[in-house]
Structure 1
Amino acid sequence: MSIQVQSERLNPLTPEQIRCYREDGYLVIKKGCSDDLIDAFNSHIHSIRSSDSMPDWAKPRKGGSAVDDKDRYSVRLFNPHLHDGFSLQMMKLPVVRGALAQLLGDEAAGVQSMYFYKEPGSPGQAAHQDYYYIKNDPNTLTAAWVAMEYTNEDNGCLYVIPGTHKLGVLPHGAVKNLQEHEAWTHEVEDIDLSMEIPVVMEKGDILFFDSNLIHSSTRNRSERWRRSYVCHYIRHDSTIERDDLKKKISLI
C-alpha cells in the first residue's frame, strides 16, 4: 500500500483575491478547514487542558506565571506547535502554506501559534498592529486566524480598518477603554477607530492579514465561546528580533 504525499504547493488564491489583499491588507478564505478537522482540533486542545496530568508547557500562564486551575479554559495556549504534533500540523496546513507563498512571493515559515478561548464575558484586545509586538526584517509578518466556531459581533469577532497596513507602524499607548479591552496590551494612537468594520466568520474560515493592519476585538457579550487558532508567519528569509520567536518552522 502506497501513501500519497502532497508534493505540489497549492495556489488557493485568485489574482483578484491577491489584488484585494494588497489593497485592503486582509482576506478571508471561506471554509479553509473542514468542520471535522476543526472539531477534532478543539477536542484535542480540550483534552490537553482538562487532563489531570496536564503537561507543564500547556499550563495556563499570565505574564510567565502560573495561574489558578479555573483558568484552564480561559487563558490562551501559547506556542502549542512547539510541543504538540496536532498543533504543528494545523500551523502547516497546505492551504495556509499555499496562500502565504502567493501573498509573500516565496515560502513562509511559522514563528508563533496561539489557541484562544475567549469565553463568554471576556474582554477583547484594543486596536493594534502586530508588527508593534513582533518586529522582523524585512517585514513580511502575516497572520492566519482560523475560526474555531462561528464568530460575529456578539461573541467578540475581529474588527479591521481596511487599508491601514499602508500607513506604516503607528505609535501605541495605553488602552483607553478598560471595560471593553484587556489592560495589559497597547492601543494604536492617531487613528479614527470609527472606521473599524467587523469580520464575521464561519467555523473553518481562515483570515489572513498584514502585520501593519490595524485590528481589534471586542468583549464577548454572548453565551457562546469564540475559540480561534492564530499563527504568525514570516517569509523564510526574514528574521525576528524577539528571542522567544526566533525558531522558524518550515511549512514544507
Structure 2
Amino acid sequence: MNEMVNGLTPLDEAQVAFFEENGYLLLRNACSGDLIDIYNQHMYNLAKNDIPNQPDSPEKATFSFRVFNPHLKDSFSMQMMKLPLIRGGLAQLMGDEGVGVQSMFFFKEPGSKGQAAHQDYEYIHHEPNTMIATSLAMEQIDEENGCLYVIPGSHKLGPLPHGKVKNLLEHADWTTETEGVDLSQEIPVFMEKGDILFFHCLLVHSSTRNKTKDRFRRSYVCHYIRHDSMVTKREDLKKKIPLY
C-alpha cells in the first residue's frame, strides 16, 4: 500500500469484512454537522446562479436536478471529495490508493423521482474493476424522502444486464434498470446528516421518489477507482483526481 496512506486506517477488520461480504458499509457521524451546513449553503449558492428567481433559502429552492462533477469547477467540492476518512477508507477497501473520477451533488427536492435498481459499473466501465462510491448525507435520509435501497451481497453476482425502467411513477425514465436479480431482496439504508455510505460498483441499489412536501434529500456522491485502474468508455471521466 502507498506509504502516504499507511496512517489513514479509519476502518477496523470487522468493517472491512462487512464490506467484502455485503458490498456496502455505512459509517455514522463521519463528517461534522457544521461542515455539512456550510457545504449545503455553498452548493445552493452555486446552483442558484444557473436558475433565475430562486429564493434566498436552500430549504425553499426548486432544484430537482443534480450538479454533475462539481469537483472540476469548485475547490470546496474538490476538498469534500478528498476527505481524509474517505481516502483512508478507500485505501483499506481497495488495497491501495484510490483516485476520484466523478462527483454528483443531488438536491432531490420534494416530489423528485428516484433511480431504478442498477449497478454503477453499467455507467462507468473501467478495468480492472475496483470502483467504489461514497454517498455523504447532507441531512436525514429515510424512506419518505427517497433513501437508497441495496441488495446485500449482490456485488458478487458480477455485471448484470440492464433494460428499460419499469416503474415510472417512482423512477426517472432517463436511466436503466438491472435485470436478472430479485429486487424483493432490497433493504433501505437510513442515514443521518454526516453519515457516509461506501458501496461497491456492482452492488445493486436504487432510490425512490421523494414523497415529502417539504424535505429535500441532498447528498454528495463521489466515485473512485484504484489508482492503477482506468475508465474505458467515458472520455469525460478519464481524469484521475489524487486524494492527497
Q: Report the TM range for the smaller structure's normalisation.
A: over 0.9
Q: Are 1:26 and 1:208, in contact at CA under 8 Å, matched by a contact in 2?
A: yes
Cα drift, residue 47 of structure 1: 1.1
The residue type equivalent to 1:186 in the other structure is T
**Structure 1 equivalent of residue 158 of structure 2:** 168
Question: What is the distance in 1 between the residues matched to 2:126 and 2:9?
Answer: 25
2:238 to 243, 246, 251: 246
2:191 to 201, 221, 226: 201
Written as runs of structure 1 = structure 2, the 5 A alignment for 1:75-224 is 75-223=65-213, 224=215
Cα drift, residue 96 of structure 1: 0.1
Q: Are 1:49 and 1:72, in contact at CA under 8 Å, matched by a contact in 2?
A: no
Question: What is the distance in 1 between the residues matched to 2:217 and 2:141?
Answer: 6
Cα drift, residue 48 of structure 1: 1.2
Cα drift, residue 32 of structure 1: 0.9
Q: Given the alignment of the two structures, is residue 38 of structure 1 paired with residue 28 of structure 2, yes or no? A: no
Question: What is the distance in 1 between the residues matched to 2:75 and 2:15?
Answer: 31
Query: What do residues 184-223 of structure 1 show as CA deviations (whole Å, max 9, x unaligned)?
Result: 1000011111100000000000000000000000010113
Aligned length: 233
**Structure 2 equivalent of residue 64 of structure 1:** none
1:230 to 221, 230, 242: 221
Q: The residue matched to 2:90 in structure 1 has which SS?
A: helix
Q: Given the alignment of the two structures, is residue 25 of structure 1 paired with residue 23 of structure 2, yes or no? A: yes
Written as runs of structure 1 = structure 2, the 5 A alignment for 1:30-69 is 30-50=28-48, 54=49, 59=50
Question: What is the distance in 2 between the residues matched to 1:192 and 1:69?
Answer: 44
Please, what TM-score do these two structures have when normalized by structure 1?
0.89
The residue type equivalent to 2:43 in the other structure is I
Mean Cα deviation higher: 109-118 or 71-80: 71-80
Query: What do residues 160-203 of structure 1 show as CA deviations (whole Å, max 9, x unaligned)?
Result: 00000000011100000000100010000111111000000000
**Structure 2 equivalent of residue 3 of structure 1:** none
Mean Cα deviation higher: 146-155 or 6-15: 6-15
Q: Are 2:5 and 2:88, in contact at CA under 8 Å, matched by a contact in 1?
A: no
Question: What is the distance in 1 between the residues matched to 2:190 and 2:210?
Answer: 14
TM superposition outliers: structure 1 runs of 4+ over 2 Å: 6-9, 68-72
Cα drift, residue 7 of structure 1: 8.3
Question: What is the distance in 2 between the residues matched to 1:170 and 1:156?
Answer: 24
Cα drift, residue 25 of structure 1: 0.2
Change (3 A) 1:103 1:30: same
Cα drift, residue 9 of structure 1: 3.7
Question: What is the distance in 2 between the residues matched to 1:201 and 1:11?
Answer: 22
Q: The residue matched to 1:73 in structure 2 has which SS?
A: coil
Please, what TM-score do these two structures have when normalized by structure 2?
0.92
Among all aligned residue pairs of Structure 1 and Structure 2, give the percentage whose two residues are the same amino acid. Answer: 61
The residue type equivalent to 1:25 in the other structure is G
Q: Are 1:9 and 1:94, in contact at CA under 8 Å, matched by a contact in 2?
A: no
Cα drift, residue 72 of structure 1: 6.3
Q: Which runs of 5+ in 1 are unaligned?
A: 1-5, 61-67
Q: Which runs of 5+ in 2 are unaligned?
A: 55-60
Q: Are 1:10 and 1:98, in contact at CA under 8 Å, matched by a contact in 2?
A: yes
- C-alpha RMSD of matched pairs (Å): 1.6
